Amino acid sequence: MCTVCGCGTGSVEGHSHSHDGDHAHSHDHAHGHPHHHHDHDHSDIHFGHGPAGTEVPGMSQARLIEIETDILSENDRYAAENRGFLKGRGVLALNLVSSPGSGKTTLLVETIKALGDQPVAVIEGDQQTANDADRIRATGAPAVQVNTGKGCHLDGHMVGHAMEHLNLGAGSVLFIENVGNLVCPAAFDLGEDAKVAILSVTEGEDKPLKYPDMFTAARLAILNKTDLAPHCDIDLDTYEDNLRRVNPSIEVLRVSAKTGEGMDAWLAWLAAELAAKTGRQAAE
Amino acid sequence: MHEMSLCEGIRSVLETQAATHKLDRITRVRLEIGQFAGVEKPALEFAWSVVMRGSHAEGSTLEMIDLPGRAMCFDCAQEVEIEDRLSPCPNCGSGKLMPTGGDEMRIKDLEAI
């Protein structure tokens, strides 16, 4: 069983944390506390007078503590730190999400080549291997590979550490290539400006309907490998309709990283986002 | 999706609460889970007992409260409750809906001694 997702069947291996070495976590706690004793007066019935000061059906008055905390608050805290850091430097950060094999890395390699002098840095997330970071570094752009091990997504903490290894200058673009997975990365904010979903035409027009969470979270969808559309009975208009069905405000670009079709529109989108980000920074 | 790591996040929040409020033991925890949160409740329950072991919430009861999915209809401009992300608008039948709520994953409260 995947110890992070809880998906699949098999043995449970317990859980472990892997950090960059500068954190030490210990989950052991000493127990053996004195217990509180209460004196009760049973002649009257009062509600809301317990230690909690409130009454919730089904819950005893032992001690009720309202928390109202998002479960992902810890991740969101790291993401907010990342966002502050990126804003301070005027860096545009895009979280690239997709299924495995949609052509993210090829699109990135071609994008970096086309951007020329524009400073770019890449964080590559995969379960294993440094293959993708090696492909990016071959273009001359700095890249950090984050291997999540058993993990199915990048989180704010991992990205914060990865950013420490990149010399992010003002006006640069940071591409965060998430783990190929259309489920979990939707929920984890990394501090990015936008999620960009990349789909390849071979995945089928109903992909957005099958994984709506991700396409709801994304601002832009890139329909990649359009050169293959004539070979695989795909109707690109239906593909776009399905994307807009799950997210009426999503922007869609049709691109072939291989032939270069549609790359101009993608580069124009990037330039506009970067100008907006650095313009905002200059205005403040 | 990632119920084990969600549980680890909850555990860390609970341990902080236990330290802040000087709790001996957390006996019950209530979560609010939105319809679109992508949380598989049986998987979360399964992960709960494993992850809480050795914490102040070891052996605690987990309760999950469902929150409905909500969306804004682009055609009739109403905020409506929907069953799933692809449901049409219950008012006008439009399919152009933008989810506005239902992705909550919140720890509501806890009971402790």
Give B9's contacts in chain A (Cβ within 8 Å): 71-75
What ipTM describes this predicted complex? 0.78
Residue A9 confidence (pLDDT) above 60: no
Among candidates B30, B98, B106 on the partner chain, residue whose Cβ is nearest the Cβ of A248: B98
Specify the pLDDT at position A25. 44
Mean pLDDT across A41-70? 64
Specify the pLDDT at position A14. 37
Give A11's contacts in chain B (Cβ within 8 Å): none
Give A74's contacts in chain B (Cβ within 8 Å): 9, 12-13
Cβ atoms within 10 Å, residue A122? 28
Distance from CA of A242 to the nearest CA of B (A): 10
CB atoms B106 and A15 under 8 Å: no
Mean pLDDT across B106-111? 94
Task: Give the confidence band of A32 by pLDDT, cuts at 50, 70, 90.
Answer: very low
Residue A26 confidence (pLDDT) above 90: no
**B6–chain A Cβ distance below 8 A for any pair:** yes
Distance from CA of A159 to the nearest CA of B (A): 17
Among candidates A63, A66, A72 on the partner chain, residue whose Cβ is nearest the Cβ of B105: A72
Residue A15 confidence (pLDDT) above 90: no
pLDDT, one tens digit per residue, over B34-70 is 998 888 899 999 999 999 999 999 999 999 999 999 9
A·B CB contacts under 8 A: 139
CB atoms B99 and A184 under 8 Å: no
Share of chain A above pLDDT 70, in %: 77
Which residue type sits at A156? G
Mean pLDDT across A33-38? 44
Residue B23 confidence (pLDDT) above 70: yes
Specify the pLDDT at position A125. 92
Residue A95 confidence (pLDDT) above 50: yes
Instruction: Say if CB B2 and CB A184 are below 8 A apart.
Output: yes
Mean pLDDT across B91-109? 90
Residue A38 confidence (pLDDT) above 60: no
- Between CA A206 and CA A204 the distance in angstroms is 6
pLDDT, one tens digit per residue, over A114-171 is 999 999 999 999 988 899 999 999 999 999 999 988 778 899 999 999 999 999 999 9
Specify the pLDDT at position A1. 35
Task: Give the confidence band of B99 by pLDDT, cuts at 50, 70, 90.
Answer: confident
Instruction: Say if CB A119 and CB A153 are below 8 A apart.
Output: no
SS3 B77: coil
Mean pLDDT across A16-26? 42
Residue A28 confidence (pLDDT) above 70: no
Tokens of A74: 């810890």
pLDDT, one tens digit per residue, over A197-215 is 999 999 999 999 999 989 9
Instruction: Tell me what percent of chain B is helix, strand and coil, each rounded to the nearest 5.
Output: 25, 35, 40
Residue A71 confidence (pLDDT) above 80: yes
CB atoms A5 and B1 under 8 Å: yes
Q: What is the dihedral of CA B78, B79, B80, B86, to 10 degrees?
A: 90
Task: Give the confidence band of A17 by pLDDT, cuts at 50, 70, 90.
Answer: very low
Task: Give the confidence band of A98 by pLDDT, cuts at 50, 70, 90.
Answer: very high
Residue A19 confidence (pLDDT) above 60: no
CB atoms B106 and A69 under 8 Å: yes
pLDDT, one tens digit per residue, over A251-278 is 999 999 999 999 999 999 999 999 999 8
Instruction: Say if CB A218 and CB A252 are below 8 A apart.
Output: no
